[in-house]
């Protein structure tokens, strides 16, 4: 099958991304607005960018209904700070609760029952239940697609502080993946566990 993505409604084209780029790690992003209201939301268009300076990125799609900016993006534009929390299976269910589009004045921490914990460098709190937290300062926002539904903003942040739970911190700065129990995003309502690991040695 040959497909011209411009010939499809954007929601149909989106399904090809969601069903092909698998599995996707989850950036569980905590932010704060200028009035101190906390926001928490998951984003599965997420990856590393650079090691020096340590930089990560995630993409915030505009609302599919009206093309409006999501609270996460508006908060980052206003404060230039955010925290990316890594999701473990132990709090997958409350993480999923935060994907609901609550009004801006409602804190997803309260709705999900997750615990805000003080950050070290930035103002937005981290998620206490998360075993790895990346405190970030905004580096750049790249707008893709304007202000239409399905458009997106690529948020690039410099990591200014890292929290790693002692239980998964191995010698040499390595992470115990089995202890972290990260989950990944698939399509629709599906997620994946990291339970089957194999090694390929580079020669």
Fold of 24-193: Pnp Oxidase; Chain A (2.30.110)
Give the model confidence (pLDDT) of 132-171 as tens digits: 999 999 999 999 999 999 999 999 999 999 999 999 999 9
Host H or E run for residue 160? strand 152-164
Domain boundaries, the chain: 24-193
Euclidean distance between CA atoms 114 and 108, whole angstroms: 8
Choose among 165, 186, 163: nearest CA to 176: 165
pLDDT at 64: 87
Give the model confidence (pLDDT) of 23-82 as tens digits: 999 999 999 999 999 999 999 999 999 999 999 999 999 998 899 999 999 999 999 999
Euclidean distance between CA atoms 115 and 119, whole angstroms: 12
DSSP track, 172-185: GGEE-HHHH-BEEE
Place of tokens 């508006």: 74
Helix ranges (DSSP H) in the chain: 10-20, 71-79, 92-97, 108-112, 177-180
pLDDT above 70 coverage of the chain, percent = 100
Choose among 72, 55, 17, 22: nearest CA to 159: 55
């Amino acid at each position: 099958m040959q497909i011209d993505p411009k010939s499809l409604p954007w929601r149909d084209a989106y399904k090809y991304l969601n069903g092909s780029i698998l599995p996707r790690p989850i950036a569980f992003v905590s932010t704060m607005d200028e009035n101190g209201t906390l926001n928490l939301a998951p984003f599965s268009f997420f990856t590393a960018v650079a090691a020096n300076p340590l930089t990560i990125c995630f993409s915030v799609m505009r609302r599919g209904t009206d093309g409006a900016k999501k609270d996460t993006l508006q908060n980052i534009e206003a404060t230039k700070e955010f925290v990316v929390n890594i999701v473990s299976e132990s709090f997958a269910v409350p993480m999923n609760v935060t994907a609901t589009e609550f009004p801006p004045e409602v804190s997803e921490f309260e709705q999900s029952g997750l615990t805000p914990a003080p950050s070290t460098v930035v103002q937005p709190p981290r998620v206490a239940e998360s075993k790895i937290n990346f405190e970030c300062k905004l580096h750049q926002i790249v707008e893709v697609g304007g202000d239409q539904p399905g458009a997106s903003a690529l948020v690039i942040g410099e990591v200014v502080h890292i929290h790693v739970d002692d239980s998964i911190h191995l010698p040499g700065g390595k992470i115990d993946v089995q202890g972290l129990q990260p989950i990944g995003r698939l399509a629709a309502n599906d997620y994946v566990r990291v339970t089957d690991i194999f090694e390929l040695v580079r020669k």
